[in-house]
Structure 1
């Protein structure tokens, strides 16, 4: 998308928060309003979820997201369809939708009043969710689903360990695993322990409980059937020795470092990595994201999945406050920016 168009007096425009230089702030500007190409709809963005990845992109620490400046950031959105492109079925003007739709590569993000969106990346918003709640879900739920369901096939009878169970992805992973019938444990510290307990998982204080102790108490020393890691680094290394022999599976969303696979190999267990951005960056596999979102919406409406949303109030003019809340750790739940009414 051309973010520096020559606007004539009759060109429909929109407000957007634009990144012009890595390491700088997002600035409010006026851009040409997008139109729907074949296979797309235009969404009037009501809310945009803020992820840690968004803040890393802004400061230039996310080369894997391949953003070209100037850029409109914002990966998650919820809003209302205002235009339907040729060949689109299943969506109509006025539909409330949500999805993980842009903000990486060359795809415009959700910190703008309107966005042209590939319909494969969308689903109808859960009926019981507000726009803010819906915008809090897409990246988190797709990441957790790809790890727990697509890679590890979590099911009834599994003992699942979620590292970082109160985090943005972790608290969603806990709820997905519980909904699929697993017994769920989650590592946390401080107030995160009560958050985990409130979700229905059994909390483990990683600061005071050695790995071998919680493996012994939670699994009788056999190891966890599935370990879902949202932390990476040393935590991922420890996971390789805490998984069940032969049938155990470790999944990480931050397996980007250098790790010894020996402990995993000696247990005869398996490992998978999750890179949720691939469909956005490559165009391949986008329809599966829509499928995951439809399943997640059904879970929300069935009362099995509820995002934790931070109480802070932000709009396009105060979006840097939203980024700051994510960066400095003061947010209590997913930070969401209100984009349009």
Structure 2
């Protein structure tokens, strides 16, 4: 069994994932072999398992999972900056035909990972990569969030939302976030002004919090009608709307009449194309620095699912029942 490992495999669409032994990977040039301690479960993983998520280009059967935290075991050729025994985290596979993170070992492109923040456990670190990279690519890369700006995060208690709130705050912005009534206390605990989107109209909260001027940056992490609401909430001329789920058909008129800007955020591109992977590693180093400085945490669901409970973990994510990010734990902390 020395050269085998356990992995969670989506064998066909709609079927339960199977946990079984497969060959343990060998790191190629530019790769490191990582012993996976924890793997984050994202909504995209559950979509791929049902046969949806075509944009992820992950034909089945496949080992699923994008996010990991673990320990470097072995270095492939031409790898610098990592050493055996080093704790790392990253968004490392599970799409584009690559093996995912829900396995005991994974060979990953060294450009996609970074040293794990010492302030976070393996489960927290495994919950962070996809959502933090998504938040950073919107707020920093596209919108250059900075002091003096009013930033509105839609879905502030969600995976991307909670780290987007903290990132905008860390970069000096004044942060507001929408959520349901049940999530408002959590949003406040992150340091944002909480807005109950069901209790207040867009016009009402724009008037209350910006004296009717609109927000400098609006980040939609929800999609659908929330993106339309974002177009109404943004400040004329200099305002910038971002969405990581802007995949529907939308009227641009409200945005155009404000002469404002829109940017889409699609975080998977470097994994799918191989281009720009160094930037993901750089973003993760920024995440680790913020976490180590006490400016970034992530709420993880308290249940530590094990690999043989992967189907329960997927159900929890698909049904939105987790209190925070759902993580599969492969090695005890």
| TM-score range normalised by the length of the shorter chain | over 0.9
- Once residues 81 and 242 of structure 1 are traced to their aligned partners in structure 2, the CA distance between those partners, rounded to angstroms, is 45
- Once residues 76 and 65 of structure 1 are traced to their aligned partners in structure 2, the CA distance between those partners, rounded to angstroms, is 14
2:206 paired residue number: 215
- Once residues 242 and 167 of structure 2 are traced to their aligned partners in structure 1, the CA distance between those partners, rounded to angstroms, is 14
- Once residues 320 and 312 of structure 1 are traced to their aligned partners in structure 2, the CA distance between those partners, rounded to angstroms, is 14
Q: 1:225 aligns with which of 216, 220, 240?
A: 216
Q: 2:266 aligns with which of 267, 275, 278?
A: 275
- Once residues 223 and 163 of structure 1 are traced to their aligned partners in structure 2, the CA distance between those partners, rounded to angstroms, is 14
Q: 2:182 aligns with which of 171, 184, 191?
A: 191
- What per-residue deviation string (whole Å, max 9, x for no partner) do you get for residues 180-232 of structure 1? 01000000012211110110000000001010010011111110000000111
1:5 paired residue number: none
- Once residues 240 and 39 of structure 2 are traced to their aligned partners in structure 1, the CA distance between those partners, rounded to angstroms, is 33
Give 1:340 deviation, angstroms: 2.9
- Once residues 68 and 167 of structure 1 are traced to their aligned partners in structure 2, the CA distance between those partners, rounded to angstroms, is 28
- What per-residue deviation string (whole Å, max 9, x for no partner) do you get for residues 123-171 of structure 1? 0000111100100100000000000000010000000000000001100
Residues 244-263 of structure 1 aligned to structure 2 (within 5 Å): 244-263=235-254
- Once residues 325 and 25 of structure 2 are traced to their aligned partners in structure 1, the CA distance between those partners, rounded to angstroms, is 27
Q: SS of 1:169's equivalent? A: helix
- What per-residue deviation string (whole Å, max 9, x for no partner) do you get for residues 292-323 of structure 1? 00000000000000010000121110011111
Q: 1:178 aligns with which of 158, 169, 175?
A: 169
Structure 1, unpaired ranges of 5+: 1-8
Q: 1:114 aligns with which of 97, 105, 110?
A: 105
- Once residues 225 and 70 of structure 2 are traced to their aligned partners in structure 1, the CA distance between those partners, rounded to angstroms, is 39
1:235 paired residue number: 226
Q: 1:73 aligns with which of 59, 64, 71?
A: 64
- Once residues 165 and 260 of structure 1 are traced to their aligned partners in structure 2, the CA distance between those partners, rounded to angstroms, is 24
Structure 1 vs Structure 2 CA RMSD: 0.9
Spell out structure 1 runs of 4+ moving beyond 4 A. none
Query: Would you say how many aligned residue pairs link Structure 1 and Structure 2?
Result: 332
- Once residues 98 and 59 of structure 1 are traced to their aligned partners in structure 2, the CA distance between those partners, rounded to angstroms, is 26
- Once residues 207 and 129 of structure 1 are traced to their aligned partners in structure 2, the CA distance between those partners, rounded to angstroms, is 34
Structure 2, unpaired ranges of 5+: none
1:4 paired residue number: none
Residues 146-161 of structure 1 aligned to structure 2 (within 5 Å): 146-161=137-152
Give 1:31 deviation, angstroms: 0.7
1:32 paired residue number: 23
- Once residues 32 and 120 of structure 1 are traced to their aligned partners in structure 2, the CA distance between those partners, rounded to angstroms, is 24
TM-score w.r.t. the length of structure 2 is 0.98
Q: 2:293 aligns with which of 290, 302, 316?
A: 302
